[in-house]
Amino acid sequence: MIVDIHKMKENVVEYLFHMWQAEDLIRACGFDIEALRRSVVDRCDQPEEVRRQTVRRYEELIEMMQAEGVEEKGHVRLCRDVLTELSDLHLRLLREPGETAYGAVYGQTLPCIVQLRAKSGGTEMTEIETCFTAVYGYLLLRLQKREVNAETAEAIRQISTLLNFLAEKYASIRM
């Protein structure tokens, strides 16, 4: 189910993953709202009003995706802007002398990020976008019930720790 933008304050990381999933569902259903209704919305055990709101959110996201030209790949500006905010916050936290805990988690995660960026074929992404892309890819693999080696699972665990820490910092400044 697509999430309301107000949920972003609760956990920005989960919000972005839900939005990315919604974009993928829209693409998989060929931008057909009736197909989305049948395959996604109607399968949710929710009151009719919640289902109507969900359909409206999907319709709005379809319009955004088409208007912004991200029908094939990529993310709507809303998601890209949130990623930019998170990347900016990440850099601010690394420069902040009192943020030793965040710096320590980042230091433990950096080798994973470097390795992922090396494997990505030189795609220009911020470190935080690299982290999101890695975790989202991992989640898709798990949904497909595909094997993930122990090294990858450990890297994802470490990256998730960093993203969760960043989400907590984001929530604390947004409240």
131-158 per-position pLDDT tens digit: 999 999 999 998 898 988 898 899 999 9
Question: 10: which 2 tokens?
Answer: 């609760």
pLDDT at 96: 94
Of 98, 91, 25, 89, the residue nearest 62 (C-alpha)? 25
Confidence of residue 42 (pLDDT cuts 50, 70, 90): confident
pLDDT at 174: 75
Helix axes 150-174, 127-143, angle to 10 degrees: 120
2-27 per-position pLDDT tens digit: 566 666 667 899 999 999 999 999 99
Q: How much is the average pLDDT of 41-47? A: 86
67-106 per-position pLDDT tens digit: 999 999 999 999 999 999 999 999 999 999 999 999 999 9
